Amino acid sequence: MDRRAAVSGVFYPGRCDEIEKMIAKFNSVMQKHFKKKKLLGGKPRAIIVPHAGYLYSGYTANLAWHIAANTRPRRVIVIGPSHHYYFEGVSVAGYDRFETPCGPIPIDKAYIRKIEKYFPVKFLPKAHAQEHSTEVQMPFIKHYFPKAKVVEIVYGKTDPMVLAKMIYAFLKERDNLVVISTDLSHFYTLEEAKKRDNVCLNAVLKRDPALLERGCEACGMTGLKAILYVAKRAGLKTELLDYRTSADATGDEKRVVGYMSALIG
């Protein structure tokens, strides 16, 4: 049983060669314009990435994925919010494989059984079937980690501490890379979006989830709070990689969406 690709050809190209061309272009731009060259050799334990269409946030996300490739994890655990199906709690995808235009990615069902043993999770197929926050990460995983397995986690209404406890356990294992998927503010003017998003960026820089309450808006707020709590408790460093808005792609400054990527570890 596969987790079928629901937004292929919409959020990202539906053909593998087109995905590879986009990633190559992102990396070319990175080599020319990314100023924090020292970070390119980093080995993060976790990353924060956006989940909009690649035309809008692909470059921002790719920065984190490109650097995370240095870690060569056996397992990539992608954690994202549910956008299409309301539920309470945390759902872990119990499929066999995750479909991508570049071929399937095996899902680590043995590890999922381990998660189910120690944490209050369930498998709700409706929570995963159309979820783009996790799906848009899979082509990057297929590209940068061709031998890795994945675990897809989608959360509904839940206490951030539930996720934090899970993430803390995941990061104890060096074979794991944890991925927190979130976009930032939605549909404000560019000026207002930057004001609100700067609150989020400051919270990440200071590893302080409490600062998020001062005006940050993020669709993946629960995951963001969880990873910052873990980073602070575990003494992990945070590094911002990129921030931009949809206005950078469209030129429309009246209704924008904010995106960031960051390294944890």
Instruction: State pLDDT tens for residues 22-65.
Output: 999 999 999 999 999 999 999 999 999 999 999 999 999 999 99
- DSSP E strands in the chain: the ranges are 2-3, 46-49, 75-81, 90-92, 97-98, 105-106, 121-122, 149-155, 176-181, 186-188, 238-245, 256-264
Helical (H) or strand (E) element with 202: helix 190-205
Burial 179-203 (b: 16+ CB within 10 A, else e): bbbbbbbeebebeebbebbebbbeb
pLDDT at 201: 98
The domain in which residue 237 lies consists of 2-264
Report residues of the chain scoring pLDDT below 50.
none
Per-residue pLDDT at 159? 98
CB atoms within 10 A of CB 161: 12
Total domains present in the chain: 1
pTM above 0.85, yes or no: yes
How far the first Cα of the chain sits from its last, in Å, is 34
**CATH number of the domain enclosing 187:** 3.40.830.10
